[in-house]
Amino acid sequence: MIVVMRPTATREEIDGVRRAVEDNGLEAFLSEGEERTVIGVVGDVERVNHLGTLPGVDQVIRVSSPYKLASIQEPGERTRVRANGTEIGLGQELVVMAGPCAVESREQLLETARCVAREGARVLRGGAFKPRTSPYSFQGLGLPALKLLAEAHEVTGLPVISEVVDPADVPIFEEHVDILQVGARNMHNFVLLKAVGQSRRPVLLKRGLSATIEEWLLAAEYILSAGNPNVILCERGIRTFETATRNTLDLSAVPVLRELTHLPIIVDPSHGTGHRALVGPMALAGAAVGADGLIIEVHPDPANARSDGDQSLSFDEFGGLMDELRRLQFVRAPDSQPAASPAAAAADNIEEVRDRIDDLDARLAELVQERAALALEVQRRRAPNAHGHDVRRERALLERAASGTSGPMTPVELTLVFDALLRASRSVQRRHAQSVTEAEAATAGSGR
Ligand code: PEP
Ligand code: MN
């Protein structure tokens, strides 16, 4: 800490600051310039927070960060948080957490849980106690919802996250969920922060509606200093003058935090925007700025959701977003470790397996030629300048390929294969159309 004295400070005032520092067991180093005196303070500066109020003091500059445990001690330091099989942060791929804003019923939760698990989410979210702005809005199912989340974990294997609003509920949450969420409205609830700080479960701490990054990190410090090292920060938008979005999603917080803290950082584009159509683009943007994860609201029937329907994705929309995250390689396709094919299993040695591959390649070459011949036939039967390919059927084929996961190829890899096939097939059709046009032009020319 550096204390800058006023140019008019007297000798007594300078000595007064030095005494205040030393009486608190800290060291003071005076540097007397021509115009003013500057005092360097070394030690636990929390004890001398009042120096700015002493006579003759102009300003006090903090040098070390006030959030000791949350701050980075060595360049590049990062923490990885483990939650019942899912790891978040430190070189892990993007973790997608998804599920309904609120648990509404067993069917709604299990249907959503199965969908998000199938699509590649790694954590299931679901609110049991909802901190709603209005006391008349749906407040959540409470304890029965926690039991349903535990059941959904059994069914899907996904760790579950839910928001705890009352310090007294921490033990019951620990029994049923894997990650405790502290919501934006409770970021400044220091009693709750201390309570989750004593928990064994990881904590996801959302940014307060109008919290600065420093206040947010100090809230994290409450949890860390209470003994819980597993804190994940979640940027969920802050309140600004803008009304076109529910909140202003401060994505610059992600790289800012990277410089300041080792804690994992995730982005919530659902609460951050409040509009379904904006969730996908801002999720991709969050991934692009280096978030360790995303948390996304998904509902089987968003139009009839009991909370936050406007910002909840349908199953199809969530599937589309996951495909996009895979296509951009923020998320890997699920590892498929299929059993060796019967043909390969029956082979005695590597040469035999290779021979079978050669056979298959020969058959594939014949098949793709046969397919191209059929595409050509379609082209022949249409007007020469019309396209032989049918975009709708092509898209359906690519979608089918992308959803086929029964072999070792991922949907992305399968899509690449079919995409190449379709392009080659179109090129055959185009060549044919061109030769017909040229032949007609030649006939017309010789007739003149
Ligand atoms: C939530 O995630 O359901 C929620 C209420 O979020 P926030 O605390 O960010 O408003
Ligand atoms: Mn919500």
Per-residue model confidence as pLDDT tens digits over 325-335: 999 999 987 65
Atom index in ligand 1 nearest the CA of residue 295 equals 2
pLDDT tens track for 123-152:
999 999 999 999 999 999 999 999 999 999
At residue 317 the predicted structure's pLDDT band, cuts being 50, 70 and 90, is: very high
User: By percentage, how much of the chain surpasses pLDDT 70?
Assistant: 94
pLDDT at 419: 82
Task: Please state at what angle helix 315-327 crosses helix 276-288, rounded to 10 degrees.
Answer: 20
Mean pLDDT of 12-31: 95
More confident residue, 342 or 62: 62
Give yes or no for a contact between 109 and 126, defined as CB atoms under 8 angstroms apart. yes
At residue 346 the predicted structure's pLDDT band, cuts being 50, 70 and 90, is: low
Q: Whose CA is nearest to atom 9 of ligand 1?
A: 184
CATH architecture of the region 342-444: Up-down Bundle (1.20)
**Amino acid letter, 285:** A
Strand partners, 28: 41
CA 310 to centroid of ligand 1, rounded, Å: 14
Ligand 1 neighbour 298 (Cβ under 6 A): no
Atom index in ligand 1 nearest the CA of residue 206 equals 9
- Give CA angle at 412 (410, 416), nearest 5°: 115
pLDDT at 343: 55
* Backbone phi, psi, residue 285, to 5°: -65, -40
Atom index in ligand 1 nearest the CA of residue 234 equals 9
Q: Which of 142, 125, 141, 215 is nearest to 179 (CA)?
A: 125
At residue 232 the predicted structure's pLDDT band, cuts being 50, 70 and 90, is: very high
Burial group, residue 93, by CB count within 10 angstroms (0-12, 13-18, 19+): middle
More confident residue, 434 or 35: 35
pLDDT at 338: 46
Which residues neighbour 371 within 8 Å (Cβ) at sequence distance 6 or greater?
A: 421, 425
Q: Name the 3-class secondary structure at 32.
A: strand
Average pLDDT taken over every residue of the chain: 91
Which residues neighbour 266 within 8 Å (Cβ) at sequence distance 6 or greater?
A: 88, 95, 97, 204, 232, 233, 234, 235, 286, 291, 292, 293, 294, 295
Mean pLDDT of 301-326: 97
CA 79 to centroid of ligand 2, rounded, Å: 27
At residue 108 the predicted structure's pLDDT band, cuts being 50, 70 and 90, is: very high
pLDDT tens track for 145-186:
999 999 999 999 999 999 999 999 999 999 999 999 999 999
Is pLDDT above 70 for 285? Answer: yes
| Probe target for ligand 1 pocket from 103, 203, 206, with the most ligand atoms within 8 Å of CB | 206
Ligand 1 neighbour 127 (Cβ under 6 A): yes
**Domain 81-327 sits in CATH 3.90.170.10:** no
Give kind and range of the element (H or E) at residue 37.
strand 37-42
| Domain extents in the chain | 2-61, 81-327, 342-444
Q: Kindly report the number of other CB atoms within 10 A of residue 76's CB atom.
A: 7
Q: Name the 3-class secondary structure at 72.
A: coil
- Ranking 68-77, 80-89, 296-305, 401-410 by mean pLDDT, the lowest is 401-410
Is pLDDT above 70 for 296? Answer: yes
Ligand 1 neighbour 183 (Cβ under 6 A): yes
| Block residue for tokens 């006939």 | 443
- Assess whether the region 2-61 and the region 342-444 belong to the same CATH fold: no
Mean pLDDT of 196-220: 98
Ligand 1 neighbour 161 (Cβ under 6 A): no
Mean pLDDT of 344-350: 67
Q: Whose CA is nearest to atom 5 of ligand 1?
A: 183
Is pLDDT above 60 for 358? Answer: yes
CA 7 to centroid of ligand 1, rounded, Å: 50
Give yes or no for a contact between 268 and 295, defined as CB atoms under 8 angstroms apart. yes
Residue 89, phi-psi category: left (phi > 0), alpha (psi -120 to 50), beta (remainder): left
Give yes or no for a contact between 51 and 57, defined as CB atoms under 8 angstroms apart. yes
Interatomic CA distance for residues 101 and 58, integer angstroms: 49
At residue 337 the predicted structure's pLDDT band, cuts being 50, 70 and 90, is: very low
Q: Kindly report the number of other CB atoms within 10 A of residue 115's CB atom.
A: 20
Give yes or no for a contact between 200 and 243, defined as CB atoms under 8 angstroms apart. no
Ligand 1 neighbour 211 (Cβ under 6 A): no
Ligand 1 neighbour 153 (Cβ under 6 A): no
Is pLDDT above 70 for 347? Answer: no
CA 330 to centroid of ligand 2, rounded, Å: 24
pLDDT at 235: 98
Mean pLDDT of 414-426: 84
Ligand 1 neighbour 81 (Cβ under 6 A): no
User: By percentage, how much of the chain surpasses pLDDT 90?
Assistant: 69
Interatomic CA distance for residues 269 and 103, integer angstroms: 19
More confident residue, 302 or 373: 302
Which residues neighbour 261 within 8 Å (Cβ) at sequence distance 6 or greater?
A: 67, 70, 71, 72, 217, 220, 233
CATH fold, domain 2-61, is Alpha-Beta Plaits (3.30.70)
pLDDT tens track for 39-74:
999 988 989 989 999 999 999 998 888 899 999 988
Q: Which of 274, 368, 286, 278 is nearest to 325 (CA)?
A: 286
Positive or negative torsion for Cα 311, 312, 313, 318: positive
Interatomic CA distance for residues 120 and 326, integer angstroms: 9
Which residues neighbour 121 within 8 Å (Cβ) at sequence distance 6 or greater?
A: 96, 97, 98, 99, 158, 296, 322
The 3-state secondary structure of 107-143, one letter per residue: HHHHHHHHHHHHHCCCEEECECCCCCCCCCCCCCCCH
